[in-house]
Amino acid sequence: MSENRSLSREFTKGILRENPVLRLVLGTCPTLATTTSLASAVGMGVAATLVLTCSNTVISLLRKVIPQKVRIPAYIVIIASFVTIVQMLVKAFLPTLDQQLGVYLPLIVVNCIILGRAEAFAGKNPVAASFLDGLGMGVGFTAALACMGLARELIGTGGLDLTSYIEGAKFSIPYFADAPLLIFILPPGGFFVFGLLMACVNRIAEKKGKPKAKTVGCASCPMNGACSRACDKEETA
């Protein structure tokens, strides 16, 4: 029973308690860039979830085989392999989504959420826990992107247009359809919605006794050690 409860916590933590976007403040670049519409936001979230879940599982399976000194390159090779598979599937079956996501689809390879979970969790924990950790973080990432995409598209364009994926799925809001606030589909609107969502999640967390989300600098990055050594070499050169 306790093991099931522990596995359940590994899945649910990424949805709200440790949401990678709104609580850990990771992956903000694709978050802001791909949330101009609901379709692109959900597409990016699902693609990242697939890569995150699969890479976590494989890295956990190989955690005792991968040498410690080359673990980061090994993780990147595994992640890049799954990104390539996902990208080929999207190109083949969802070409519209592929055009919407553009360069941000292959850039999932360097998404700090995926590499961070590989280094911080999958490389140190069993397969089942790593799978649920990746799935939970992916669901939380997708939910955050979907909320942002929905708000920005509704206010910025005056409605939703999903006709590229679902026939007849086009909706409009009476007031915003006549005078949409275009700034919401521009970068300033993305930062504004992102800030509001983070404030709401922080408020919920505060009521539950959790600390507010905060940036902690490079110290939390799994590549911190390598970057520090590279900078030291440049300074001494």
State the total domains in the chain. Answer: 1
Nearest to 156 by CA among 177, 180, 190: 180
Return the bridge partners of 206, or none: none
pLDDT digits (tens, 9 = 90+) for 94-134: 999 999 999 999 999 989 999 999 999 999 999 999 999 99
Domain that holds residue 157: 2-236
Provide, rounded to the nearest whole percent, the portion of the chain with pLDDT above 70: 85
Burial zone of 237 (CB within 10 Å; 0-12 exposed, 13-18 middle, 19+ buried): exposed
The pTM score is 0.84
pLDDT digits (tens, 9 = 90+) for 14-53: 888 889 999 889 999 999 999 999 999 999 999 999 999 9
CA angle 139, 227, 141 (to 5 degrees): 10
Nearest to 48 by CA among 61, 33, 62, 60: 33
- Is the pLDDT at 182 greater than 90, yes or no? no
d(CA 49, CA 139): 7
